[in-house]
Amino acid sequence: MATIVQKDVLIEAIAQVQGHLLRSLPSSDSMNDDELFLCELREKIYNTHHDKLDYESLLVDIVKIKNKSCYS
């Protein structure tokens, strides 16, 4: 369960990681798996009522991608 503010935090976190990936990855016509996952996750979050979102779990998924991109 997430609050409305936590839902907004998840959306902002995804945008931040997407921006980081865009700057750090080589230019390409196609998206990699992490970029696709984040796009799908963003749509899921937008389309799901905040009470139905698992804030902690979703944030862990976002942070994993951020950390992976920082160390690769």
Q: Take residue 66 and report the two structure tokens written for it.
A: 């951020």
The domains of the chain are located at 4-70
Residue 45 pLDDT level (bands cut at 50, 70, 90): very high
Residue 27: what pLDDT?
74
State yes or no: pLDDT of 72 exceeds 70: no
Q: Please, are residues 41 and 61 in contact by the beta-carbon 8 Å criterion? A: yes
Q: What percentage of the chain has pLDDT greater than the value 90?
A: 76
State the average pLDDT over residues 14-33: 84
Residue 32 pLDDT greater than 70, yes or no: yes
